[in-house]
Structure 1
Amino acid sequence: MSESFNTYESEFQFAIQEAQTKISQINSVDAEQRKNYLKSIEGANEKQEKSSYNAKIRNYRTELDTVTVTYNKLLDAQDKVELFGSNRYTDDSGDSSEQRKQLLSNNSSLERSSQRLHDSQRIAMETENIGSNILNDLRSQREQINGARNTLSQADNYVDRSVQTLKTMGRRLTANKFISYGIIAVLILLIFLVLFSKFS
């Protein structure tokens, strides 16, 4: 059972490594690709969380079924003990001897069933502790992914603002060029007018 939890934990670790790889590539991709990375990280986070919870529920249901079956066997054995105990003094000596043997056998079966029940309860408690530890780890890792996602979102916003600033500067630069060309044209025209007025 702990192997199933370890499997889901390994899958979650792989998802984290993939998310960290995408985060490290933020400076080498465009804005659209960064948004795709964000969606991918968020989807992997939700998928791993659902898988972990579903696996935990299935494992607990299996343990509960095992304990229920063992408990029913225990009740059946107890009923047999009570049945033979109430009749052993009313039968003859041969039947009483056979009943005592049956009672001893039932007592042994009862003890084995009780031991299996205790073992099942112990396994269930150990499984619950393992599940609790893994869920705590998953919550911590989810917080790390959320922090990385927020950092990536902030970086994306900074890049968008930088792009807008560059576009604005480009437009202003173009406008300044046209203004400079206009001033030069006016100066040339004035020079021609001055020269024309002198020689006319």
Structure 2
Amino acid sequence: MSELFQTYESEYELAHQEAEQKLSQISDLAGDKRRTAMRDVERATDECLEILDQMNLEIQNMSTNERSSYNAKLRTYKATVDKSKKQLKFLQDNTNRDELFLGRTQESSDPSSHDYQRQQLLKNNASLERSSDRLRDSQRVALETEEIGSSILNDLRGQREQLVNSRNQLIDADGYVDKSIRTLRSMTRRLAANKLISYAIIAVLVILILLVIASKFT
């Protein structure tokens, strides 16, 4: 298993646990605390989706045999996040409907407490740092993929040059074969002509011999 994928799984579990914990508390909260808890759940589920995107990128760099099991795991994680978001949407709709029914004005969504603001800022900074780390990991994976692609292209160029050279050699060899065939045909024609000349000379000599013999008996 990819170590980077395992790291993403650990981050996903933390973010998902936070979302589930906050979801279980929302029904017991009211006012600003309820709104704050819902925002925390929304932030945690969004973070889960970001992590799943990084997992998907990592899966693309795995072998074909590994991808099927990891894709199944990724779909399970995605379905779990979607379920959490649906629960959050249901709670948000209920909260808005209750506030509208009671005629209450919307309360401020940001607590005035300095300590609370500081905690929220620290949480946001931590989330930003995790997102930055994942972005750097994605850039590293992209660079590695680009290097692999460049290496493959160079290999393909080398193979293409070899094929072109082989093709040129075959063309040259084909030319030599054509020349050899033409030479053999020419030699064959000359041999045939020489045979005819030889037969003609023999025939003339035979005739002359016969004439000489005939002249002696006359």
TM-score by length of 1: 0.50
Find the structure with the greater CA-based Rg: 2
Q: Which has the higher helix share?
A: 1
Give the number of the structure with larger relative contact order, counting CA–CA contacts within 8 Å between residues 6 or more apart: 1
TM-score normalised per structure 2:
0.46
